C-alpha cells in the first residue's frame, strides 16, 4: 500500500492499539486537536479518551505518568509535540525510565515509546529544532531509532511498541510527507540494531540516518555521474548500533563520510566516526570525514536556517575532498 510517512506512523499505532488493549497514546494536543503534525489525526474520535489522552503542557508530568503506567503493565506511546520539548523531561527519561529495570534488579519493565518530530522543520527557530537522538543514544537503558523511509517508520514503530524497554523514536519533520510502500501485514515489524544499505558502491561509504540518508542518496547519484561509486548506509538504529555493517562497507570502499543533521560537535556522527577509526584504521585511505549541522542556535530566517542544515552540496564537497 502506498502511503506517507505520517500516515504510516498513524497506521502502525492504530494496529497496535487494536492488537493490544494495554497500548494507549498520551501527549499534548494529540486528541481533539489531532496533533501538531497531524500524526494522530482521527484517533481520538476512533478510540476515545481512555486510549488517546490529551494532557496539560507538562512534559515531566506526561513522561512520569507514562513511566508509572509502563511499570504497571501498560504500553504508553508518548507524543512529544517536538522532541526539543523532551529536554524538559530529561530527568524522567534518563533517571527513571532508562534506569528502573536495572535499579529494580529486573523486577520492573518500562515498555514506553517516546516519539515525535526531531530536527529542523521550517522556520521553527532555535528552541524547536533540536536533533535530540545523539543525546539519548548516550544513555544506557534506552533504545534510540531514527527511521528514514515509510516502511521503516511503520515497521520500527510497531517494534518499538512491542519492546519491553523505553524507546526514543525520532521522526524528522521533513519526512512526514514522504511517500512509500508499507506491507499489507499487521504483524510486519523491523528489528532494531540493523543498518540498511540504500545504495551499493565501491569507492566511498556515506553513512547517514533519518533525513540525512536521503541527502546522502542524492549525493551518491551525483557522484555516480562523476564515475564515483558511493555506498549509502542508513543507520536507522542508533542504540543498538549495527557497527559491523558500517565496518564491512568501509573495509570495501576504504573511505568513510558520516552525515548527520545534529550539531557537528559532539553529535552522534562523531561516535560513528570514532568507531570507524578504531576498527577500520588499517583499511582507510583517507581520514574519516564528517558533515554535520553548524554549531549555532537554529536561526529563524529561512535563508540562514538552510545554511545550518547539511545538504547535497555539502556532502559532495566533503566526499570529493576525501576522494582527492
Question: Which residues form the catalytic set?
Answer: 59, 128
Give the burial class of 49: count Cβ atoms within 10 A of its Cβ; 0-12 exposed, 13-18 middle, 19 or more buried: exposed
Count Cα atoms within 13 angstroms, Cβ side, for 18: 10
C-alpha cell at 70: 509502563
Q: How far apart are CA 186 and CA 194, in angstroms?
A: 21
Q: How far apart are CA 30 and CA 76, in angstroms?
A: 13
For residue 316, CA distances in Å to 115, 216, 246, 257 come to 31, 9, 20, 10
Q: How far apart are CA 196 and CA 288, in angstroms?
A: 20
Asked if 197 contacts 190 with a C-beta cutoff of 8 angstroms, the reply is: no
The position carrying cell 534506552 is 142
C-alpha cell at 64: 512520569
Q: How far apart are CA 90 and CA 104, in angstroms?
A: 20
Q: How far apart are CA 146 and CA 256, in angstroms?
A: 20
| Coil/strand/helix, residue 147 | coil
Q: How far apart are CA 81 and CA 116, in angstroms?
A: 6
CA 317 to chain centre: 25
The position carrying cell 488517546 is 52
Amino acid at each position: 500500500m502506498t502511503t506517507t510517512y505520517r500516515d504510516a506512523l498513524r497506521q502502525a499505532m492504530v494496529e497496535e492499539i487494536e492488537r493490544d488493549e494495554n497500548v494507549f497514546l498520551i501527549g499534548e494536543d494529540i486528541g481533539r486537536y489531532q496533533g501538531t503534525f497531524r500524526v494522530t489525526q482521527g484517533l481520538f474520535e476512533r478510540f476515545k479518551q481512555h486510549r488517546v489522552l490529551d494532557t496539560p503542557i507538562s512534559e515531566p508530568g506526561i513522561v512520569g505518568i507514562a513511566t508509572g503506567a509502563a511499570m504497571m503493565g501498560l504500553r504508553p506511546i508518548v507524543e512529544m509535540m517536538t522532541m526539543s520539548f523532551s529536554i524538559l523531561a530529561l530527568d524522567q527519561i534518563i533517571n527513571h525510565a532508562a534506569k528502573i529495570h536495572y535499579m529494580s534488579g529486573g523486577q520492573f519493565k518500562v515498555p514506553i515509546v517516546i516519539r515525535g518530530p526531531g530536527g529542523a522543520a521550517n522556520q521553527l527557530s532555535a528552541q524547536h529544532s533540536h536533533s535530540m537522538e545523539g543525546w539519548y543514544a548516550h544513555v544506557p537503558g534506552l533504545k534510540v531509532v531514527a527511521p528514514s523511509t515509510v516502511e521503516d517508520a511503520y515497521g520500527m514503530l510497531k517494534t518499538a511498541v512491542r519492546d519491553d524497554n523505553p524507546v526514543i523514536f525520532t521522526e524528522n519533520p521533513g519526512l512526514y510527507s514522504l511517500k512509500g510502500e508499507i506491507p499489507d501485514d499487521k504483524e510486519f515489524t523491523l528489528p532494531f540494531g540493523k543498518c540498511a544499505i540504500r545504495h551499493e558502491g565501491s569507492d566511498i561509504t556515506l553513512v547517514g540516518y533519518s533525513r540525512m540518508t536521503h541527502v546522502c542518496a542524492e549525493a551518491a547519484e551525483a557522484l555516480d555521474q562523476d564515475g564515483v561509486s558511493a555506498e549509502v548506509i542508513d543507520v536507522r538504529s542508533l542504540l543498538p548500533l549495527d557497527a559491523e555493517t558500517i565496518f564491512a562497507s568501509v573495509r570495501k570502499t576504504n573511505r568513510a563520510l558520516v552525515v548527520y543533521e545534529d550539531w557537528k560537535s559532539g553529535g552522534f556522527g562523531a561516535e560513528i566516526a570514532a568507531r570507524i577509526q578504531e576498527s577500520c584504521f588499517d583499511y582507510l585511505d583517507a581520514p574519516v570525514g564528517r558533515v554535520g549541522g553548524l554549531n549555532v542556535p537554529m536561526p529563524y530566517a529561512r535563508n540562514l536556517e538552510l545554511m545550518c542544515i547539511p545538504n547535497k552540496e555539502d556532502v559532495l564537497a566533503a566526499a570529493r575532498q576525501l576522494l582527492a
